[in-house]
Chain A
């Protein structure tokens, strides 16, 4: 089984701050996903990564396959970014394994 660890578990930031959320996994994977879960409970997919870096608006995701590590960055954070961010790995065409999530609160 692939162990997926996220840090930090909880994060509070002031509006405008640069935020980093980390994800580490124990076994080689075929892809890694970053998901966002809103306070209302809905889950949406932000990124899928198999190598390198992706950017969407103020969100940047990177992955280092050799080090089995990924980071999600939020630039110029905003209160509407407040959510739980979940890392999930896909283990060579098999099931998803999920981290426990990072709860982010951005204060105006």
Chain B
């Protein structure tokens, strides 16, 4: 298994540009999520999905869109990049148990380091 993969690893954008961060997992996990990690702050949830066709907002959703057309893929779209979105982005996945988040391991992708100028 490849686990959770993310592309690209690094990206530089200009203010106002749009882009999509890709995330895929091959573990058939229902739950997928996007986090951002900023210096001095813990990982913060942007958006999450409990299955294909179902997405919801996390703690810091503004400026980001997601979709979940398949179990495997969960792309994160930046609509109009801003310097405040400079961050490291992590995608993660885990299983659901009976409709609730399992307390089992959460698997993280390698991260995407995004800089917005």
Residues on A lying within 8 angstroms of B by beta carbon are 4, 30-31, 33, 35, 41-45, 48, 50, 86, 88, 90, 93-101
9 A-B pairs with least C-beta separation: A98-B42, A93-B100, A31-B103, A43-B108, A98-B43, A45-B105, A41-B111, A100-B42, A93-B101
Q: In the complex the two chains form, is A48's CB within 8 Å of B104's CB?
A: yes
Say which residue of B40, B44, B106 sits within 8 Å of A45 (CB atoms).
Answer: B106
B51 at the interface (CB under 8 A from A): no
A94-B101, A98-B42, A100-B41 known; A33+B106 contact, CB < 8 A: yes
Number of A-B residue pairs with CB-CB distance less than 8 Å in the complex they form: 50
B13 at the interface (CB under 8 A from A): no
B88 at the interface (CB under 8 A from A): yes
A30 CA to B108 CA in the complex, in Å? 20
A97 CA to B45 CA in the complex, in Å? 8
Least CB distance from A63 to B in Å reads 12
Which residues of A are found within 8 Å of B40, using beta-carbon distances?
A: 100
Chain B contact residues: helix, strand, loop or mixed: loop
Q: In the complex the two chains form, is A42's CB within 8 Å of B108's CB?
A: yes
A86 CA to B110 CA in the complex, in Å? 16
B74 at the interface (CB under 8 A from A): no
Beyond A41-B111, A95-B58, 10 additional contacts (C-beta under 8 Å) are A35-B108, A42-B110, A42-B111, A43-B90, A48-B104, A50-B103, A97-B42, A100-B41, A100-B42, A101-B42
Q: In the complex the two chains form, is A48's CB within 8 Å of B103's CB?
A: yes
Which residues of A are found within 8 Å of B34, using beta-carbon distances?
A: none
Which residues of A are found within 8 Å of B104, using beta-carbon distances?
A: 48
A100 CA to B40 CA in the complex, in Å? 6
A43 CA to B111 CA in the complex, in Å? 9
B64 at the interface (CB under 8 A from A): no
Least CB distance from B85 to A in Å reads 18
